Amino acid sequence: MNTNRARLYLDHAAATPLAPEVVDAMHLYWSDDFGNPSSIHTEGVAAQHAVDTALHTIASVLECKASSLTITGSGTESCNLAIRGVARAAKRAHGSSHILTSAIEHHAVLNTCRDLQEHEGFELTEAAPDKHGLLSVEIIEAALRDDTALVSIMYANNEVGTVQQIRTIGQVCRERGIPFHVDACQATGQLPLTVERLNVDLFTLNASKAYGPKGVGLLYADPRIPLAPVITGGSQQLNRRAGTVAVPLVVGMATAIELAERQRETEVPRLQELSAQLREGLSVLGGILYGHPTERLANNVSVGFDGIDGETLVLYLDAQGISCATGAACTSNRTEPSHVLTAMGFGDAEAKAAVRFTLGRSTTATDIDRVLEALSSVLKTLSPN
């Protein structure tokens, strides 16, 4: 490994560094303003004011009421609250016991739905995508039933970057009166987040993919949708999620989301240009590009090379100072092929070959040249021919 060369981080879909503005915004609430926002004394009131201000900041980006936002501990928890909360409430109220999702969801959604199927008697439909990871609106519509309690479809796929037709799917659900949840954890700073225009009823966000802190998430929920709490205890957050709110993390999340939205207009075209440069170079090297060619996140490039294991390639690149991934960070230590690529119709060998590069604010054209140069060298070493 060349220790004289700075490391190049290209795994922004897994985690991002804290933006300096986020660090500055959080600092005060780790030290001087440490109060519990549930307390009625001066310190508590100051803490609650900080939370309220943060929620109003996020609400302005989502174009919703701050009272419709629930703070959680992660995007995964937000997905659990949306799916379990709505499904259980619907089953109690009118016996609805069917959930519709897709086979390419993040495991925060997929495994939660499967758990409800296995342990709570729900029926589950997992819609299959096409070879590009795009879901058909017609297939989604055809899978809806009179007893469908919830539809949960991700905004953009974390592994291959394909962006779904959320607004159209949401309209279909709205016409049928079925609650629609969207996991948007990969979308902040890259795609519009205005919930009403997207026709969504529940919307999951987190901060750690958008230069904000880990350990905090958010759920927008239309107040007209019944939502049973998943975590019980105190009466915080209108009884939707018990537990003391982590004030510094909420402030940091709001700052990160607002900053990402402000920069989106200029950052997305820049990332698209860099991704196009990388995709072209990967094709020249013989790479098989995964995901939709146009309906995709600006920063996500997924590729595989015939006969070369993705995990091995990631480790070789890591030794050269380049960080990338084989897929979702939460499953990177598992040996099974990507469930996303398998659902898209790829065989085990092709799915295990996948490597994901996700670019960030600091990525430059020179960085892309470095990746392609390193890959050219590594591929010669690993090539079975």
Which residues does the annotation mark as catalytic? 330
Dihedral, 342, 343, 344, 346 alpha carbons, nearest 10: 20
142, β-bridge pairs: none
Place of tokens 């098989």: 288
The total number of residues written for the chain in this structure = 385
Bridge-based pairing of strands 8-9 and 69-72 is unpaired
The DSSP code for 242 is -
- Coil/strand/helix, residue 127: strand
- Coil/strand/helix, residue 17: coil
3-state helix, strand, coil in the chain (%, to 5): 45, 15, 40
The answer to whether 161 touches 301, Cβ cutoff 8 Å, is: yes
Q: Which two tokens stand for residue 153?
A: 């479809």
CA distance linking residue 267 with residue 275, whole number of Å: 12
